[in-house]
Structure 1
Amino acid sequence: MTERQKILSILLGILVLIGIIMIIGLPFQRMKGDVDFSVHDSNSNFHYEVGEVLEFTINEPERVKGTSILWQMGNGDSINDKTVAKYAYRTSGKYLVTLKVNGHTVANRYIQVVSCTEASAIDSVPRIYAVSEAYQGEELTFSANGVGVDTWMWEFGETGTVDAYEQQVTYTYETPGNYIVHLQTNTTKYPIEHKIKILPKFEKVEETITEPPVDSLGLAQDDIRRRLQIIANLSVRDNRAYKEQVNYIRDTYFCVPSNQVVVVVNGDKYNDFPGYCQGLHFLESSPKRRVKIQEVKIDNLNCVRTIQVTQSVADK
């Protein structure tokens, strides 16, 4: 065999080896980019709690059919060969859940597991629901909600005394200005505060009105509702679009860190904004269920601190 033939034989062998590696490697690379999983809490209260059975579901199980599946729960425990893994954590903490297929990591996600006491504390924080801006002489409604609350003492900041003792009350400010509403309850050590700005009485001038006023608050609420619906409809793999919607809402409407913005779901479940959006994207948007965002209300157009969401879940 000549020197030229030897070189050609070596090159041919290298090309064959590269081809074998590509044939073996390509299917896995395709799987690695596509396979993901979602998490569902059994009591649907938007918290992952200690002792609660959580379901970890591969979103497209047909893609891993006939493969070796391994779930690593982030605390040393693991589950083998289950497209739907059920697991309950014994202690609270932050865990990295990893999904491996044929020995290769294809997806992972951090989850925060809280104690029942922590979850109860989150849900039990009393909240004031009221506008943040109104006019002198306008009759305003103030309401509050909180687990275990049966005593309410409202101070609206104008009289210097306690003004009302009911869960939902009405009040009319006689003087324009900036006020801090204080609410003391039987479950709070210190009063809860709500800031409100009272503008001078609006005098309607017919000749200057050429078109109906724009409902800026309504437009903002509908904008947030539409973007939350987009998050609920997104594939769990579409993290880019998910971050775009979350960042838009945060940058457009918040004046405090997003984890200080409270989301009240259907009037009785509480989350901070990032936790709610993650739940909406990963927890609720499962292949078997669809979330419908029916209505959104915010407490302040220019500085949102509380978002009230009315939503429903329907089987697909």
Structure 2
Amino acid sequence: MTERQKIILAIVSGLAIVGLVIALLLPSRTVDKNLDFYIQDQNVNNQLEVNEPLKFIVNDSSAVVDKRVLWKMGNGDSIVGNPNISYTYHQAGRYLITLQVDGKVVKEKTIDVVKLTKDTVAVDSVPKIVGPKQGFVGESLVFSADGDGMTSWLWEFGESGTIDAFERQVVYKYDKPGKYLVKLKTNTTLYPVSQVVTILDKVDAVPADMGEEEQAEPQEPIDTLALVQNDIKRRLQAIANAGARDQEAVRSNMGYINDTYLRGNGGRVIVQVNGERYNLFPDYCQGLHYLESNRYSRVSIDDVKVDDFHRITKIEVTQRNIGK
């Protein structure tokens, strides 16, 4: 090898060593394929709400050290420089969140931001019975209470005629076939919430129609607010006055209100009693009948107000107990 060749080889080797050192010293510009982000809401209710501070957090902040991080919030806003950010949306909508690192899109997620009203919160606060709507004699059926703020639970399964359990989740077996009204009373509602369960004999076939019992035929609606409120008041009073065994009066009046004024959507209509506790409409009617119509006293419906004449979502009832 000539002297010139030795010099050229030495130069090339030196450059290679320098390049290797530089590569080792400089941070990598390769984006981690496992990079992701998650969103944390302030009240931790798994619902992203208008005017609620939200946190957008990268799952591995060390993977974006010395890299250019860009958040696109889906509404025209962008935030540069921080792997973890806080952001508040002021309008409800569906937004595409984009995380870019060094100019490359590494993750996109679509979120729904909702606007909650007082009534929406009230509906969400009403406990719900989670459990089967049909079963068989002798089968172990699991029922649980879903909701927030509950500290006490009173379960009635409609077979024994008394309170059957006191836990949030219970297991119950029916001894006889039939339709039973499962009722749950908690500290958060004035009246119990309820659910119908159909119990079949083990030799019975599953009935073709497991829907709710037929309601009374709707009548012509009354077209002024005062008359609507008075008509609902009169129907609720009839439910309160009905005897303990008079289910037909309850079904007829409850069905009339539901079909005529609530557009068949009674299961989503709130009843607020005396400005305090909430119940959904069907549970309020059942509670009004079962709990308040007894031999010693009855309920007087003093006033009824509705929130929207054309689309009722809330009924405010003023009532009191009076002796017979």
Shorter-chain TM-score category?
0.3 to 0.5
TM-score by length of 2: 0.39
Which protein, 1 or 2, shows the higher relative CO under an 8 Å CA cutoff with sep ≥ 6? Answer: 1
More helix by share: 1
TM-score by length of 1: 0.40
For the pair shown, which has the larger CA radius of gyration, 1 or 2? 2
